[in-house]
Amino acid sequence: MTVANATTENTVLREIARQDRNRRAIRIWLGFVLVALFCLVLVGGATRLTNSGLSITEWKPIHGVIPPLNAAEWEEEFLLYQRIPEYQQLNKDMTVDEFKQIFWWEWAHRLIARGIGVIFALPLLFFWLTGRIERRLRLPLVGILALGGFQGFVGWWMVSSGLAVRTDVSQYRLATHLVIACLIFAACMWIMRGLTPHSNDPAPTAGSRTMAATIAVLALFQIYLGALVAGLDAGFSYNTWPLMDGAVVPSGLFVQQPFWINLFENPKTVQFVHRLGAYVLLAVVLINMVISLRAAPRTTHARRSILLALLVLVQAGLGITTLVLQVPLDWALLHQAGALVVFGFAMANWRAFHGEYAHETALDVRD
């Protein structure tokens, strides 16, 4: 080996070591973002379950960080709430102290959302300016930041649907808001998983990647259906399992016209479809586990398939318990947390079939 070749090799090795350090820092950062997003979704779920989402009737991205600080400010905030249909039709007997209880849930939800914007944007700027972000990751990370900003607008668009005519928010907008939050969560998980060292185990079968993608999509679809259930309060209507309204397939699923509107606006139909979605997801992950164990039982892919199946089984149990107990807050939040855990793990599992990001050469990574 010539001196020039040895020098080049040492330079590349130093560059790879530097990239490994940078990747570790970015993984830790994205891990914090994922935890914050997880908390945000749970507080958002509690906000919905406690009917607190319409307690703040104005969108003040900057000034709204400061809550009411004295009795006069609380009265002013309460007067704004008294103007909307939810108060006039449902909560006319509410006191200021009772209003504070719902106010704090919505305020906390908005505060966490603002905080996530800060803990994402500032480290991103730092990592970018100090050259710690690989070129191929810059656009995706900026895209996540932009999607987060758009999500703030969608959140207000959702709230505004319940301020004039309705006594609650639109289930369509609620589902859109939750799905976008999950997409942000998924994108962070995808990038973080790609920066994590992978095993060299081959995929158990040729269709393993497709199966992993299918499971992730089904998990996200279940979350969407769950948002429709929450938006329609459908979980409070039929609280038996495995039968629903006394039957395996209940009557009255398509009483509204046109028939397809039942899939979005008929509480019975929405809950029934959500149940079917759970059965389909469970069946797919169990089939995936059996195929993986038969094809390559000692690989990390097979072990992940077992864990994924266990997570879905636990999530199904949480869903059934939440339903039978008539949606108590603690069980409902556990069910929502389980949904995000299943979806996050499904995304990480899907990403694992693509392998980790290859190291860029010393010449490639420098501007």
Task: Write down the residue that tokens 């006191």 correspond to.
Answer: 95
**Is the same domain home to 186 and 107?**
yes
**Is the same domain home to 129 and 164?**
yes
Q: How far is it, in rounded angstroms, from Cα 244 to Cα 324? A: 11
Burial annotation 89-101 (CB, 10 A radius, 16+ → b, else e) = eebeebeeeebbe
pLDDT at 115: 96
SS (H, E, C) 17-32: HHHHHHHHHHHHHHHH
DSSP state of 202: P
**Is the same domain home to 161 and 25?**
yes
Cβ proximity of 201 and 235 under 8 Å: no
pLDDT at 364: 46
Give the tens place of pLDDT for each residue, 54-90: 999 998 888 788 999 999 999 999 999 999 999 999 9
Residue 209 sits in which domain range?
199-367
pLDDT at 11: 73
**Is the same domain home to 133 and 230?**
no
**Is the same domain home to 30 and 83?**
yes
Residue 196 has which token pair? 């994590």
pLDDT at 72: 94
**Is the same domain home to 23 and 153?**
yes
**Is the same domain home to 189 and 214?**
no
As averages over each run of 10 residues, the pLDDT of the chain (367 residues) reads 63 78 94 97 95 92 87 94 94 94 96 96 96 93 97 94 91 96 97 88 84 97 96 92 94 94 96 97 97 89 95 98 96 97 97 82 44
Domain count, the chain: 2
**Is the same domain home to 173 and 216?**
no
**Is the same domain home to 140 and 272?**
no
**Is the same domain home to 317 and 289?**
yes
**Is the same domain home to 20 and 143?**
yes
Residue 142 has which token pair? 């900026």
Q: Under DSSP, is residue 75 helix (H, G, I), strand (E, B) or coil?
A: helix
Maximum CA extent, the chain: 86
Determine the angle formed by the axes of helices 96-129 and 3-49, rounding to 10 degrees: 170
**Is the same domain home to 114 and 216?**
no
